[in-house]
Structure 1
Amino acid sequence: MTKHNANDGGQWSGMVPVDDTALAVTDTGGAGIPVLYLNGQFATQGYWRRTIAELGTGWRHITFDERARGKKSGLSADYSFEAAVRDVDAVLEARGVDKALVVGWSYGAVVAAHWAKRNPDRALGAVLVDGAFPYDWMDEAMEARIRTLFRRVALMAPLLRPTGLLPRMNAEEMAVSNIELGRLSLESELGPVLDAITVPTRYVVASGTSFGSRGDEQERIRTSLDEVTARNPRIKVSAKVASNHGAILKKDAAAIARAVRDADATRRAEQKRQDPADA
């Protein structure tokens, strides 16, 4: 049997040190397949509670708040995308987990795609929730629009930060993070990452707009998946749901749970064909 983790005790919550900060982590424990959830860019681990409830206790659920997100994770001098990918390894190592199925929403979907591509022997599968679309949406005009947007968002900081709904980052840090995401999402950047993924990967795709988008911008971005799935048979669209980008975790947790089960079932079937004794 394949050993997925070395620490399958009971539920645990605490702080995991990494680089110059510490991350608030929750681990349900247990002997089930470890599922690591990767949040939206400025979201928190609480957003996953409905998906976790849909999947139930047969899985080991690990959630965490990224740097300066939520109420407890610490500030940092580094909010880069590479830091976000490093944090995946830091959390898994701290919880004694070697292999995991990663589930990411929005920004977290891009993190999940990169981690799965870089760790083909550790990724048990990936579920990408309305994110990781390779599309050239970032240009100078968009950068200016993003900086203006986050200057406005920062005006709400005194009200939202105590609730954990807004990161403890300033307007420039939030804008830079979002602009970096746009650059990483260019077809020339993200396309090769997705093409190189070798583990079962499923998309759950929303409809309509996302925060800051206009008109049909988001729907046009989503059309890039047609070429992704045509090039890489390991990647499939599990569901296209009616919810918009911001509501998908709340309203379509069942669809996300189905995608997790499908990715894992595909992995198990493939493993059984390759080595029945190790399935």
Structure 2
Amino acid sequence: MVDVDDTALYVTDTGGAGQPVVYLNGAYADLSHWKKVVADLGPGYRHIRFDERARGKSKQSADYSFEACLRDIDAVLAARGVDGPVILVGWSYGGVLGWHWADRNPDRVTGLVTVDSFPFGLTREESAERIRKLFHKMRFLLPFVRPFGMAARMSAAQHAEVNIELNEIAAASVAVLERASHPVRFVLATGDSLGSEKGEMESGRTVLDPIIAHNPNVTISAKVASNHSKILAKDSPAVAAAVRGLVTD
């Protein structure tokens, strides 16, 4: 466990001299979602995974903000003695975290693999209310899906606020990607996510097109037939290939 602020984070680290790869989870997910990617990449890398606050085996906190999650990356790397360049692999919420951490720490990043995250969000107040209503309806279901890494030890209202903040930050992240000085490889799905309207996610992915045209460091490594929720389970080889490409490029 790694102590940070008022909480403690559960961390796994395979160690060794290989390229460090740091995995950043989806908003309510735990580190188990990365097991197929880790297996596909194999022992030639140093795999560092951790559960965010109130997810998986980590402790609860009074602060579930995006800034707190950025501090958690710093705390994990410091605790594991990693000060050299890392590859960040982030899915959904974790992808957005990766963009911003790399933007603040450009000398500590070899590159990023972003799994179905994109700089698009529902920022209008009616969209925020839609998210709150969705989690309010799901409030009795959350404890039952928690063991599968699909919910955190938070209230339904806290789940909603994490999602609302993510939408706002993701929508404001175009400039972060446009100025990225390190390789950013996207592995994208084609389907929707829980709570999104039909086609909404695919429409959001098109926001990447002008960024890719503007910044040659940003590319799409693969686009796969999975939906947002199942991409790590069904298309882990595409994610692993994107990581290997950062090492060999």
Interval containing the TM-score (normalised by the shorter chain): over 0.9
User: Which stretches in structure 2 are left out of the alignment for 5+ residues?
Assistant: none
Please report how far the alpha carbon of residue 195 of structure 1 lies from its aligned counterpart in structure 2 after TM superposition.
1.4
CA separation of 1:136 and 1:175: change in aligned 2, threshold 3 A: closer
Q: TM-score, normalised by structure 1?
A: 0.86
Bigger Cα displacement from structure 2, 34-43 vs 144-153: 144-153
Partner of 2:189: 206
- Separation (CA, whole Å) in 2 of partners of 1:194 and 1:158: 36
CA contact (8 A) 1:200 1:264 kept: no
Partner of 1:152: 137
1:57 alignment partner, one of 18, 32, 43: 43
* One-letter amino acid matched to 1:261: R
CA contact (8 A) 1:135 1:224 kept: yes
2:237 alignment partner, one of 238, 254, 267: 254
Partner of 1:269: none
CA separation of 1:247 and 1:86: change in aligned 2, threshold 3 A: same
* One-letter amino acid matched to 2:78: E
Please report how far the alpha carbon of residue 162 of structure 1 lies from its aligned counterpart in structure 2 after TM superposition.
5.2
1:110 aligns with 2:93: no
1:235 alignment partner, one of 212, 215, 218: 218
SS at match of 1:117: helix
1:16 aligns with 2:36: no
Deviation per CA, 1:41-92: give whole Å up to 9, x if none.
Answer: 000100000000000000000000000001x201101100011111111101
- Separation (CA, whole Å) in 2 of partners of 1:185 and 1:192: 11
CA contact (8 A) 2:28 2:149 kept: no
Percent of aligned positions that are identical: 54
Q: TM-score, normalised by structure 2?
A: 0.97
CA contact (8 A) 2:34 2:232 kept: yes
User: Which stretches in structure 1 are left out of the alignment for 5+ residues?
Assistant: 1-14, 267-279
SS at match of 1:154: coil
2:33 alignment partner, one of 20, 44, 47: 47
Partner of 2:108: 122
Please report how far the alpha carbon of residue 108 of structure 1 lies from its aligned counterpart in structure 2 after TM superposition.
0.2
Please report how far the alpha carbon of residue 211 of structure 1 lies from its aligned counterpart in structure 2 after TM superposition.
1.1
Partner of 2:228: 245
CA separation of 1:194 and 1:163: change in aligned 2, threshold 3 A: closer
Superposition pairs for residues 172-191 of structure 1, below 5 Å? 172-186=157-171, 189-191=172-174
Please report how far the alpha carbon of residue 163 of structure 1 lies from its aligned counterpart in structure 2 after TM superposition.
5.5
Deviation per CA, 1:229-260: give whole Å up to 9, x if none.
Answer: 11111111000001111110001100000100
CA contact (8 A) 1:243 1:252 kept: yes
CA contact (8 A) 1:149 1:212 kept: yes
CA separation of 1:50 and 1:162: change in aligned 2, threshold 3 A: closer
CA separation of 1:239 and 1:113: change in aligned 2, threshold 3 A: same
CA contact (8 A) 1:39 1:107 kept: yes
Please report how far the alpha carbon of residue 36 of structure 1 lies from its aligned counterpart in structure 2 after TM superposition.
0.2
Please report how far the alpha carbon of residue 171 of structure 1 lies from its aligned counterpart in structure 2 after TM superposition.
1.2
SS at match of 1:218: helix
SS at match of 2:220: strand
Tell me the number of residue pairs that the alignment of Structure 1 and Structure 2 aligns. Answer: 248
1:74 aligns with 2:74: no
Deviation per CA, 1:88-109: give whole Å up to 9, x if none.
Answer: 1110110000121100000000
- Separation (CA, whole Å) in 1 of partners of 2:107 and 2:35: 28
* One-letter amino acid matched to 1:228: I
SS at match of 1:226: helix
CA separation of 1:162 and 1:207: change in aligned 2, threshold 3 A: closer
- Separation (CA, whole Å) in 1 of partners of 2:116 and 2:107: 25
Q: What stretches of structure 1 move > 4 A for 4+ residues in a row?
A: none
1:134 aligns with 2:119: yes
CA contact (8 A) 1:206 1:244 kept: yes
Larger gyration radius, structure 1 or structure 2: 1
What RMSD, in angstroms, separates the aligned Cα atoms of the two structures? 1.2
- Separation (CA, whole Å) in 2 of partners of 1:92 and 1:226: 33
Partner of 1:275: none
